[in-house]
Structure 1
Amino acid sequence: MTYPAPAGTLPAYLAAPAEDGPWPGVVVVQDVRGMTTDLRRVSDRLASRGYLALAPDLYGRGFKPRCMIATIRAHFADAGDAYDDIVAARNYLLDDPRCSGRIGLVGFCMGAGFVLQLSPRGLFDAAAPQYGLAPKAIDALVRSCPIVASYGAKDRIVKHGSADALESVLAKGGVDRDIKEYPNVGHSFMNEFGFPAPFTIIEALAGMAYSESEAEDAWARIFSFFQKHLSQTPDLTGLSECGEVDDGPAN
């Protein structure tokens, strides 16, 4: 499917539950590989648990290498079209009559970096960044929506101590959270890349191997956390979980 965004229409993958709605929505943010079988699998898994899951193809507007470079730059610059594309995906879900009005955000690796940047902006009801790089302005996360996050102690991409740093800043803001670092896994332990056999060796050397036991534990924590924060009917009249106050219509 496609959906509208400020920089132009963007392709995406939409997965809907089989049972009757309305359902909470979840925006699924890709890792650096883009729109993959793994990203669709993640979206389908969310749908199987009762979430309307939308995964934007952030490389899908124009020449892919140029889109890829722009998206990666946006990730590190904390600004760019990719952020607008993710927010537009959130708005698309809110406009879908099948959506309950509660929206979560999930991301892996680069996608988790986007999630951490967006979490304090008052747009999402819960967020699940998995092994994401901390934002430059990490102190902004004192105003974050509730966060469930997972890290691997053997990660060679996200520096050691990132889980503790996230825990500390969220605790400072009194943000509801579930942060866990798994001691025996590295980066991308929740993602099934599906590389051909020769590349699995490279994958293992880079510390990016999938690990089922830790991945399933992380998913159980995500679903439990999302059940807590996304199952309620949204309150549009007062203070939201993300700290934004609805002051009513402008004069």
Structure 2
Amino acid sequence: MNDLTHPDAAPFQPKTSFTRREFVVSSLAVGFALAVQPDANAEVVVTSTDGLTAGEIKIPVAGGDMPGYRAMPEGAGPFPTVLVVQEIFGVHEHIRDVCRRFAKAGYFAVAPELYARQGDVSKLASTDEIVKNVVSKVPDAQVMADLDSAVAWAKSSGKANTDKLGITGFCWGGRITWLYAAHNPRLKAAAAWYGRLVGEAKPPINPRHPIDVAGELKAPVLGLYGGADNGIPLDTVDKMRAALKEAGKASELVVYPDMPHGFHADYRPSYRKAAADDGWKRLLAWFKANGVA
């Protein structure tokens, strides 16, 4: 048995195979998703690749090769490893920049394009289209397996120390971050940015949500939430906090008063620099304190 097929991970293992013809995305889109093009006033953060090895990669997964993005410091390594899980808008420029920020901090960061089998969200003009045509068709089990494959690919590169493994994700990826923390027993720490915590079970696509796996977490999770997030009511944060306490899990939920959803997304009007910077500092300290450094 290898590390990525541990029996503790069984509830999230895919029950079907995915054929090569099901891959509809073979490379990453340039720039930002059509649905969220930055306006002229956006405070877009651009992290230089100076001193880094960064670019698009291919990750072997069930049925073929999945595109993704990898950034790491130049040098021999191996470096502590971070999985970066996309927003609803896929692995566009903002997520790639987050990978570069991790690389500047000394990490091997990898962001797989987790919608590659279901559709190209970069060309869809609205969030509603993205949800209806792509996201609603992406099974959690598939995502867990693809993230495992990204870890295996990173380890095989010889540059990533996957014994020091962390994960972070934003919006859609925030929910996935919680689920992965219940899935992979080798994970050391996680940081979920405004990921939905409760919801209706919709098997086989979304059979469970973070609150349902609170007692199964294999690693401590830092949850970063906005007090004015209309999509994630504060009572759901309170319910998750209570579930974690009841389960005896050493995780932490931080709520930024008056902050909207997407406060870390510097290319969108929702960006709030002070909260984004504070959350990033907390994330790095969380990873360091829990063995991802």
TM-score by length of 2: 0.67
Which consecutive unaligned segments of at least 5 residues does structure 2 have?
1-56, 122-128, 199-207
Distance (whole Å) between structure 1 residues aligned to residue 132 and residue 81 of structure 2: 28
Matched, 1:130 2:193: yes
SS class of match (1:24):
strand
Cα deviation 1:129-178 (Å, max 9, x = unaligned): 11001154524222211111100010011222233222222222322223
**Partner in structure 2 of residue 72 of structure 1:** 135
Alignment coverage as a number of residue pairs: 217
SS class of match (2:74):
coil
**Partner in structure 1 of residue 182 of structure 2:** 120
Matched, 1:97 2:170: no
**Partner in structure 1 of residue 39 of structure 2:** none
Matched, 1:48 2:75: no
**Partner in structure 2 of residue 143 of structure 1:** 216
**Partner in structure 1 of residue 91 of structure 2:** 35
TM-score by length of 1: 0.78
Give the letter for the 1:114 counterpart.
I
Cα deviation 1:77-130 (Å, max 9, x = unaligned): 6x3423321221122223332222221111000011111112112242111111
Give the letter for the 1:140 counterpart.
V
Give the letter for the 1:85 counterpart.
D
Mean Cα deviation higher: 57-66 or 147-156: 57-66
Q: Indicate which of 160, 176, 196 corresponds to 2:250.
A: 176
Name the CA shift for 1:63/1:33 in 2 (closer, same or farther; >3 Å): closer
Give the letter for the 1:188 counterpart.
G
**Partner in structure 2 of residue 216 of structure 1:** 277
Distance (whole Å) between structure 1 residues aligned to residue 120 and residue 220 of structure 2: 33
- Percent identity of paired positions between Structure 1 and Structure 2: 26
Distance (whole Å) between structure 2 residues aligned to residue 221 and residue 16 of structure 1: 21
Give the letter for the 1:36 counterpart.
H
Distance (whole Å) between structure 1 residues aligned to residue 178 and residue 168 of structure 2: 10
Distance (whole Å) between structure 1 residues aligned to residue 157 and residue 130 of structure 2: 27
Distance (whole Å) between structure 2 residues aligned to residue 173 and residue 191 of structure 1: 32
Distance (whole Å) between structure 1 residues aligned to residue 246 and residue 77 of structure 2: 37
Distance (whole Å) between structure 2 residues aligned to residue 62 and residue 184 of structure 1: 35
Which consecutive unaligned segments of at least 5 residues does structure 1 have?
195-202, 204-208, 233-251
Answer yes or no: is the 8 Å Cα contact 2:197–2:237 preserved in 1: no
Distance (whole Å) between structure 2 residues aligned to residue 229 and residue 69 of structure 1: 37
Distance (whole Å) between structure 2 residues aligned to residue 34 and residue 11 of structure 1: 11
SS class of match (1:55):
strand
Distance (whole Å) between structure 2 residues aligned to residue 23 and residue 70 of structure 1: 37
